[in-house]
Every structure is written in C-alpha cells, then in structure tokens.
Structure 1
C-alpha cells in the first residue's frame, strides 16, 4: 500500500491506531501488508515545512500576490505598465496550493522573474497589504526568494521523476537518496546560485551536481596515478566522460576551456613550418594544398615508415591519391562535360 502518511491512510507517521485504512487492510487480509509512504508526498511536505524556518513566509507571499491580481483586470494592466517601464516581459502570476504537487516552485519562479515590476507596483499603490509592503521594502528578501527557488527546483525535478505510473519503490528510493546527497553537498560547500541562473547555456545547479559526482569518482589515488603516468589534462577528461554520461554541463565547459590557447607558441611553430616548406622552389603551391600539408604535418605524429605502412593498408585511399579528382582542372572538365551533355539532351 502506497499513500501519504495521513491519519486516514496510515494513522500518521507513527502508524498508530486501528481505524486507519492500513490497519483495516492488515486485519481483513489476515497477513501483513507492506506500507510505503508516497515519496512524492514526502518531498512536497518536506519542501513546504522547510520553508517555515525562513525569515519570510514564502507561501503567504505567493498566495497574496496571486490573489491580488487574480480577478482584477485594472491591477493587471497597471502591473503591465511597470513591466514596460523596467523592460521585463509580463507573465501571469501563478497560484499555489499546499495539497498540489509541483505548485510551489513555478509560483516562486514567476515571482523572481517579475520581481522588479512587482516591487515597483506594490510600493507605489495605496493600501498595499502590509505583508507585501514589508516584503518588498527589505532588499534581502529577493535573495531569499532566489534561494528558495533554487532548492525548490531540486524537489520539483525529483517529484516529476517519481510521480510516473510505472516507477517502483526501489527506483523511488534511489531518487530519495540522490536528493539527500545533493542537498548535503550544497550544505557542505555552502553553495548558492547566481541570480541569473534560470535559462543560461550552463545550468549551474546541474553543473554543481556533476562536479560533486566527479569528486566521488576521481579520488586522490586516481590523480596520483594520472600524474605518475603523465596523462594530459584532455585525456583525463576523456576518461571521465567515457565513464559518466550524465555530464552535459561539464562537457560544454570543457569544450570552451580547451578552446582557449595558453600561448601563441604553437602558432609561431606553425609559421616556422610554413616558411620551411613554402620555399622559392614551391612558390606555386595553392593555399589549400599548403593548408592540407600543414594539417597532416601538425596532427599526424608518426614516422615516414609508419605513414608508408598505413597508406599501403588503405587501397581506396591510394587510389584517390593517384587519381585526378583532387585537381581543379579535372573538376572543371567534369563540370563542362556534364554541362555539354545537358545541352545535347
């Protein structure tokens, strides 16, 4: 039996009493029934209870703001004017309910997205609700809302994962322990997201979790082993990515970092190689030909004999090397022939 831990279902968290559904099922069947608390309810209740320790009542703020605009077209139009003034796209306020999964995070997200026009609006009107006036007058409260949104996003994602029709208890338990680990890592590292983390190329929350995952796998012994074998930085990351597939943000970050040249020394060496090869005797070389030669010279670190053996093992490549398709005159003649054939047809 899977249900939330209400008195009607389980007799509360301690599962006491005989008038709840769980006890009656046990008595009627004559053999034990396994009782499983609904993980989605647990996550939802945990998040809502956790926000109660904050210096602001997030739930009250969300409900007050929604009700203020819910049935008043005049108020909405005035808020839209403030949105235009601060250059923020207007978005409809969302409701919040304690009994509905997944409702708190979207409501908070809408508030932080519209925070500037909402603040300007409520501080400008007469008879502003006291709780909202005090909320918007204190600048630190915006930071609290971003903090709650960050944590609520974690719970929101997990609830989405576990509320499906085909998830079993062990899978739900894995999601449960994974969430605990993520929360513990944030606590240990004193992690706080930047204000603009909604919708960038890199998701900072996911990136933090990916780094935490790397730390559990890349141990000190592993780093010592890499150092002893003189493994390059890029090869270390390749090894990591081959073992862990869920590192999309780290992959983007590594792609960016490894594109940044440390010095121009490699470019200077390329210039020297070009000068050595592009001699007066070879002054008629086309730029494209020289480019191809430099690419081979730079990227293939093999001896002449090794390259010779490699080419011998590739008959199709040898055929293309000896053929005429690589020359412009061949391509032009081929195009002229096709054009003439087309005219005759």
Structure 2
C-alpha cells in the first residue's frame, strides 16, 4: 500500500488536456502513470475515434438565429396578423409559401418563408393573441372607468358571446374598444349572460371600474322600456351580482332607429318587407326565372339588376332593397302579372294601383333612417353625438308629420291616380302617410326616454364654449354615481377649456373631429395635469359610456 495518495493537479491537467472535468480515472496510485495506462486501453482509444469521426454534432441540427431568420419570423407574424385582420381562412396560407417563393425568387426571406395553416394558427393563438391580451391588460391598469357590450350569435348549435369593453385613454388617441373575451354559453338566459359577464370582469380586474352595460333593447337585456330592476334581465342581474346600484344601462340607439322604421312600415296594409323577401327568394337561385326577367327588362328598356335580400335584424338592408325594387319595378310588374300562377301575395301586390306609390314613400322615409343609422354606427361615437342624431331625426319626423310630407315623385303619381278617378285610394294613402309618421314618432319618443339622463353631458360636444351651469349639473350627476369631482378646481379648468374652444372652433379641421378627438386635442395641449385633472375624470367617465352596440354586432 503506497505511503500517500496522488491527486489530479493543475500540472497534470496541462500535461493531459484530453481529460475533461467530469471524467473519472483513478490517479491515486501512480499519478501520471495511471493516466498513461488509461490512454493505452481499448476503451480510451475507441472514445478518441468517436470524438474525431465525421459524424455531425447535435448542435448542428439547430438553426442559429441570425438577421435573415429574424426577418423571416417577422414576415410570418405579419402574414398571420394580415390573415386574421382581413378574416381570411387559415387554409389560404397553405399556398402562400409557394406563391411567395415563385413571386419573389431573389428574396432570401421568401425562400425561407414556411407558414401554412397550422403554423399560422399557432402564431395567432400562441403569440399575437397573447400579446394583444397583455397590451390590453397593461392599458387597463391606468384607466378609471369602462363599459361592457355583448351580444349573442348562433354558430350551428353553439351560442357565441363576445365581450367588448370601452374606455378613454387620451394618450392612445381617445376612445378605445377592446375585445377581452369570446366564449360559448350553454344558453342565452339573463342569468347565464350576467354570470358570464361578471366572471369576465373579475378575471380582468375590472369589476370596480365597470360603470355601464349596453346591448340591444330586447327584454333579455333590459326587461323592456321601463328597465325592470327586479326582473329577470341581464341589467338587473348585473346590478345584483356586482352590488352596483348606480350601474348605467345604455340601449342600442341604432337598434331603436331600425325598430322605429319597422314600426312605421307596419302601419300600412302592404307588407313591403315581406314582398321584398319573397321576390328575392323567387329569383335568387333560379336561373330560368332570372333569364326570363332579363327579357322583360329588355322589353321595358331598363337595365337588369340582381334583386337584394332584406333581413329585419340587419339595420341597413331595407333602404337599398327598396331602391333596387323601384329600379326594377316595371319589369317585375310585367313579369308577375304575365305568369299563370304567380305567388298570391306578389300577384296582389302588383295588381294594387298604389303599390309603387307606397314603395316610393317608404324609399323617402327610409333614406332618413338609413343615413342616420350609418352616421350613428361609426366607431368611437360618443353618447352626445348619438343623442344629437336621435334629436335630429325626431325633428325631421315632426316636421314631416306636421306637413304630411310627400316627395314630388309621390305627389306626381297621386295626381295621376286622381285623374284616373281613384280619389278614395289617394285619400287612404294620405291618411296612411300621416299614420306612418305618427307611429314612428310614438315609438321613437318612447325609446328616447332612457337617453334623457345623458342630456347633462351635451356641453361636452364642444360645439360652443361650455357654460358653467351645464358643467355643474354634470358634476352633480357624477356625484350621484359615486364619482368625485372637485368643483373648485374644475371651475378654473373650465375657464381654460372655454379659451381653447373659442380658439379652435374657428378651425374647420377641429370642428370636423369626433367629440372624443376634440378632448384628446385639449389634453395634448394642456401644460400639466393640474390644468385638466377634474375634466379628465369627467371625460374618462363619459367616454367610457358606449354609444351603441354596433361594435359587437360587427363581430357576430
């Protein structure tokens, strides 16, 4: 037995660099002699041969990231975002890689682009979606108030409910709308929807910031015009679940105008909406009938145009459908009255001496609703702008009713009917016109009532310098909702706002901005938060109120 044991020293490491840390070879007996003896063994020689062989290392199978690879990743991410933004199918990406290689053969990025449907979907779900959610969550930390909008949509047997929030962030350009959840529910009862919204708000830490709910005006959402707080509707359930008695309910005004037009059309004997639908159904998949109609168009010397469909749940479909029917009316009338067995409803319609006159009057009436709904459905509209639109259409209907307004086209057709001895029918038509205006006004006035509480915000449209009495009424309203505004500070800030408004209202570009954009301009030009702190609180509350439910309707 040796008198001492040897150890692996730094000198041995320099002399035998082949040995690496982690290798076990005993050097306790002879030191360097043990290492030399080990190197002569077959095991060591075999290991050396394997080390120096031409076999590839594992690391060579991994792509080392470089500028080109980063550019390719960026291109694939951009294409994935493009696919989602424009609602393209993931399947369309299957041929994109090949197409890019052929279209741009000199591009290194195109050569390495390889994002088909599976990878594109993975990028969207794993990267873009998560990034969007993170950005939204980060932004929500800074806001004081938000509102929620939702609506259901059937996709086969699945009921989908997207949830959209709205808030005001002047640093990001003003009103912001974000989709924070899309989920299917087992049913669409008020209890289920309210629970789903409550859970979504809690998950995103928004329960304390939630000030308003909006949806269409169905009984499920609000329990009717009276907003029955004890009833089984979403609005009442949200108040109960969140213990928030000051929660604001905003019915969709575009939905109100749509229903108002239907209500007026329902007062006349001719069901124009049903006639439009039947004519569309009669032609839209029947080539023989369509070709025959084209011959009638040639006979009466008008251009053939494809008939349009109409749905009562689509707010902007009735006006263009009526317009198309009027363009095709002579050919349609000649066609159906020449058929041996046409649909009874269509035969009766075209045999009616006043059917075209009713169509022209509905066209005149619907042009008003159509234009105002289009204006109202714009993104980022404020509650003040929407209320002004409702007031405007109310004024128009009042004036038309007081004058029993009819277009010159309608008056010319009526005059011809009186010459033909159809005075009784003409008198009935005039009575129907008056009744139609009355029905529209009755419905509109009834459903505009819940919007009256927002009259206190009308000074905020900045169409003229604000009056302190109006601002003071607004502060009182917010106080009732639990929003504290220092009226002393606010008075001085309103003085500065008046000066800003007086200066900017002479600028046509400023006057053409949406209301939230005007306020954004003001906050951008203010010197410090001390100049607008209380006004910012008011703006964050008011611009968090949704002006319509169209953002959700576009999704579903």
TM-score above 0.5: yes
Q: Secondary structure at the match of 1:36?
A: strand
Q: Which ranges in structure 2 are unaligned for 5 or more consecutive residues?
A: 1-212, 412-507, 509-556
State which of 230, 240, 243 in structure 2 corresponds to 1:30.
243
The structure with the largest alpha-carbon Rg is 2
Q: Partners in 2 of 1:114 and 1:4 — Cα distance? A: 34
Match of 2:390 in 1: 176
Q: Secondary structure at the match of 1:148?
A: helix
Say what the alpha-carbon RMSD is for the aligned residues. 1.9
Q: Partners in 1 of 2:287 and 2:401 — Cα distance? A: 43
Runs of 4+ residues deviating >4 angstroms: none
Q: Partners in 1 of 2:310 and 2:316 — Cα distance? A: 9
Conserved? CA contact 1:4–1:38, under 8 Å: yes
Match of 2:220 in 1: 8
Q: Partners in 2 of 1:116 and 1:139 — Cα distance? A: 13
Listed as ranges, the matches of 1:127-166 within 5 Å are 127-166=341-380
Conserved? CA contact 2:360–2:410, under 8 Å: no
Q: Partners in 2 of 1:74 and 1:173 — Cα distance? A: 49
Q: Secondary structure at the match of 1:195?
A: helix
Deviations 1:6-43 (A, max 9, x none): 12211122222443211122122222211111110000
Structure showing the higher helix proportion among its residues: 1
Instruction: State yes or no: 1:52 paired with 2:266.
Output: yes
Instruction: State yes or no: 1:84 paired with 2:298.
Output: yes
TM-score, L = length of structure 2: 0.35
Q: Partners in 1 of 2:321 and 2:408 — Cα distance? A: 19
Listed as ranges, the matches of 1:1-345 within 5 Å are 1-16=213-228, 17-31=230-244, 32-195=246-409
Q: Partners in 2 of 1:64 and 1:135 — Cα distance? A: 11
Please report how far the alpha carbon of residue 151 of structure 1 lies from its aligned counterpart in structure 2 after TM superposition.
Answer: 0.3
Q: Partners in 2 of 1:100 and 1:67 — Cα distance? A: 17
Q: Secondary structure at the match of 1:159?
A: helix
Please report how far the alpha carbon of residue 196 of structure 1 lies from its aligned counterpart in structure 2 after TM superposition.
Answer: 9.2
Match of 2:459 in 1: none
Deviations 1:198-231 (A, max 9, x none): xxxxxxxxxxxxxxxxxxxxxxxxxxxxxxxxxx
Deviations 1:276-320 (A, max 9, x none): xxxxxxxxxxxxxxxxxxxxxxxxxxxxxxxxxxxxxxxxxxxxx
Q: How many residue pairs were aligned? A: 199
Q: Partners in 2 of 1:80 and 1:123 — Cα distance? A: 15
Q: Secondary structure at the match of 1:35?
A: strand
Q: Partners in 1 of 2:409 and 2:326 — Cα distance? A: 9
Please report how far the alpha carbon of residue 80 of structure 1 lies from its aligned counterpart in structure 2 after TM superposition.
Answer: 0.6
Conserved? CA contact 1:63–1:95, under 8 Å: yes
Q: Which ranges in structure 1 are unaligned for 5 or more consecutive residues?
A: 198-244, 246-345
Conserved? CA contact 1:6–1:13, under 8 Å: no
Q: Partners in 2 of 1:54 and 1:94 — Cα distance? A: 22
Conserved? CA contact 2:361–2:410, under 8 Å: no
